[in-house]
Amino acid sequence: MRSGSWLWAATALLVRDPATVMSLGLAVLLQFVWVGYALSVLSWRVSGFLYQQARQAVDRMTQTAQEIARNQIAKAARKQERDEPVP
C-alpha cells in the first residue's frame, strides 16, 4: 500500500462518493498550491528587503570612506601649510 492510500480509503469509506473524494483531494491540493505561492511571495519580499539593507550598508560605507579621504587630504594640506617656510 502506498503511504497516502490509507487516507484515500478512509475518506472513501466516510463519503462513499468518488466525486466527493476527488473534491476533497482537490481542496487539499489547492491548499498546498496556496502555501507554495505564499512562501514564494515571502521569499521574494525577504530577498528585496535584504537587497535594500545591503544597498544602504554599501552607501553608508561609501560615504564613510569619502569622509575619511576628505579628512586625510585636509590633514595633509594643513601639515604642508605648517611645514612650508614663510617667504
User: Which pLDDT score, from 0 to 100, does residue 85 have?
Assistant: 65
Please tell me what DSSP assigns to residue 84: S
Q: What single letter denotes the amino acid at residue 75?
A: K
Residue boundaries of the structural domains of the chain: 5-83
User: Which pLDDT score, from 0 to 100, does residue 2 have?
Assistant: 59
pLDDT in tens, the chain (87 residues): 456 788 777 767 777 777 777 888 899 999 999 999 999 999 999 999 999 999 999 999 999 999 999 999 999 998 888 887 656
What is this structure's pTM?
0.50
User: Which pLDDT score, from 0 to 100, does residue 23 have?
Assistant: 83
